[in-house]
Amino acid sequence: MRRFTARARRRRIIWLCGLGAVALVVVGTVGAAYSPLFAVERIDIVGAESLDAETVAGALEDQMGRPLPLVDESEIKAELLAFPLIETYSVESNPPHELVVRIVERTPVAVVASDAGFTTLDAAGVPLATSAQQPEGLPLAEVEGGPSSEAFAAAGQVLRSLPADVAVRVATIRASTPDDVSFDLTDGGGVRVVWGSASDTAEKMSVLEAGFRANPPGTVSMYDVSSADVLVVG
């Protein structure tokens, strides 16, 4: 009985010692993580192209000196809202001292004209910048209902889905509903393409390219691919 009790006591002591060691490791690790040993000393902005990475990092300087686990993502979100070009972002901790913010910039697809000048928009109709002159390489959007309308959403989707070599030749894009998108190309002095809805992009593009080959833009004034399997030339 005494031998059994002694063995049980030794097992209990070993178990308690092991548990205590694990607790010390956990407490030590957590304490170190929340200590200056893991404070933010560098903020890296990844993915900035049009934006200045140093300017974005400067807007987040309040996070400097904080332990990585205490970085305030709600504050980061509030600061990044000041940059309309940022579409999405993610925050990563890279111990011991680096905070990485990966951003995806919005892609400008068109401009709208107003008394204030020319406002650049992305495909969702989000305004990015306003200038006195129309930016080169972006078409003028003439859309009923303005940038927040479903018609503009369709026009933006069409512009984003066009091959790059065609998109850069779009001078003006129009829509009064999501189903009647059309655009003018610089080809042939200004040929119109009646596109219809934003669906069936690949099929419509294939038909349009066949139309270019059979009837070059300089010889016609209009291509209608609103029915994906039929080309109408005018």
**Is 122 among the domain residues?**
yes
Proportion of the chain above pLDDT 70, given as a percent: 85
The verdict on 55 and 135 lying in the same domain is: no
The verdict on 53 and 137 lying in the same domain is: no
In this prediction, residue 24 carries a pLDDT of 39
What is the rounded CA–CA span in Å between residue 87 and residue 82?
12
**Is 84 among the domain residues?**
yes
**Is 210 among the domain residues?**
yes
Could you tell me which of 103, 68, 63 has the C-alpha nearest to residue 83? 103
The verdict on 173 and 86 lying in the same domain is: no
What is the rounded CA–CA span in Å between residue 226 and residue 17?
77
pLDDT tens digits along 68-117: 999 999 999 999 999 999 999 999 999 999 999 999 999 999 999 999 99
pLDDT tens digits along 6-60: 565 566 666 555 554 444 334 434 444 455 788 999 999 999 999 999 999 999 9
pTM of the model: 0.74
The verdict on 165 and 212 lying in the same domain is: yes
Q: Which residues contact 44 (CB under 8 A, 6 or more apart)?
A: 57, 94, 98, 99, 100, 101
In this prediction, residue 8 carries a pLDDT of 58
In this prediction, residue 45 carries a pLDDT of 97
The verdict on 128 and 211 lying in the same domain is: yes
| Residues of the domain holding 223 | 108-233
Tell me the CATH number at 223.
Answer: 3.40.50.10960
Q: What three-state secondary structure class fits 135? A: coil
What is the rounded CA–CA span in Å between residue 162 and residue 205?
8
DSSP 71: -
Proportion of the chain above pLDDT 90, given as a percent: 79
Count structural domains, the chain.
Answer: 2
**Is 15 among the domain residues?**
no
In this prediction, residue 21 carries a pLDDT of 46
The verdict on 116 and 215 lying in the same domain is: yes
Could you tell me which of 195, 119, 211 has the C-alpha nearest to residue 161? 195
